Amino acid sequence: MENKIIEVIGLTKKYSTNNSFALDHIDLNIAAGSIFGLLGPNGAGKSTFINILSGLTNKTSGKVKVCGIDLDENPKTVRGNIGVVPQEINIDPFFSPIQIMDIQAGLYGVNKNNNRNLEILKNLDLLDKAKAYSRSLSGGMKRRLMVAKAMVHNPPLLILDEPTAGVDVELRSKLWDSIRELNKKGVTIILTTHYLKEAEILCDRIGVINKGRVIACDTKKKFMKLLDEKELIIDFSEPIKEIPREIKQYCIKKEYRSLTLKFKKSKISTADIIKIFVNKKFKLKEISTKESDLEDIFIKLLKD
């Protein structure tokens, strides 16, 4: 792997009130510069992982390094390298975004630098709201302000916990744009999500965690290659007499005027299949397809 921004070896967490492991000897590397999606069902251990990185929870055992710095040896520096955007919006409605940024800068012990804070707000498309009451911001703006707050101390790593939970479609894509922009500027992004399309669209690497264990971790490309299956449903305007020999092997369901085919895109294309039917003078009425997506992979992984 290229430069690792996160290096985790044997990370384990057992809460005193809980008998099972919240994190069970996790090994995980995250490359600098990536947008890494941490996926997993409820209770998988995602928040515990993030909370350990950001210093909110103590680990039971294992090693954690952020930017090459050991969490045990230098927790303060590790915290300084991370910006966290929590799930809940916690913004004082009576302060303006720029005041909120100043307060946050104070908390992190960084110099109050209005120009830099204005620059951050500008990058997140909030410049014209810098001096407005935060209560007047829309939901999407408030979320972007949360990101701005997390970037006040200029961390190389930004962690977003379910960034678009409950956010509508338009605002969601705006937030994704902001995340991509930050990434382009060199910030490594880790996000947790249970919204699989989000990981599919945004992330270049994905880790799947279940019952405190990492059950898969790879580039998104490789994940998507795991299943190159496609389903094709063809309705005909005449009853089907005989299925063409060449595609019999792909047929998983035959009805009076409809066929369902399942095939690997790497083996045969939809166009090839259609061509066969057309050449054999089948009268096609309607065609619909279903590609496998991250959701299928996820379900498959959790079942194994």
Please give the residue ranges that form the binding site for ligand ADP (CB under 6 A): 15, 17-18, 22, 40, 42-48
Query: What is the closest distance, in whole angstroms, from the C-beta atom of residue 83 to ligand ADP in the complex?
Result: 19
Nearer to ligand ADP, 42 or 266 (CB): 42
Query: What is the closest distance, in whole angstroms, from the C-beta atom of residue 17 to ligand ADP in the complex?
Result: 5
Query: What is the closest distance, in whole angstroms, from the C-beta atom of residue 23 to ligand ADP in the complex?
Result: 8
CA distance 176 to 16: 37
State CA 216 to chain mean position distance. Answer: 14
Query: What is the closest distance, in whole angstroms, from the C-beta atom of residue 53 to ligand ADP in the complex?
Result: 12
CA distance 260 to 88: 44
Query: What 3-state class would DSSP assign to 141?
Result: helix
**Residue pair 140/174 in contact by the 8 Å Cβ criterion:** yes
Query: What 3-state class would DSSP assign to 227?
Result: coil
Nearest to 44 by CA among 203, 178, 171, 210: 210
Nearer to ligand ADP, 43 or 139 (CB): 43
Query: What is the closest distance, in whole angstroms, from the C-beta atom of residue 46 to ligand ADP in the complex?
Result: 3
Complete DSSP assignment for 18-29: -SS-SEEEEEEE
Nearer to ligand ADP, 48 or 134 (CB): 48
Nearer to ligand ADP, 42 or 111 (CB): 42
Nearer to ligand ADP, 18 or 115 (CB): 18
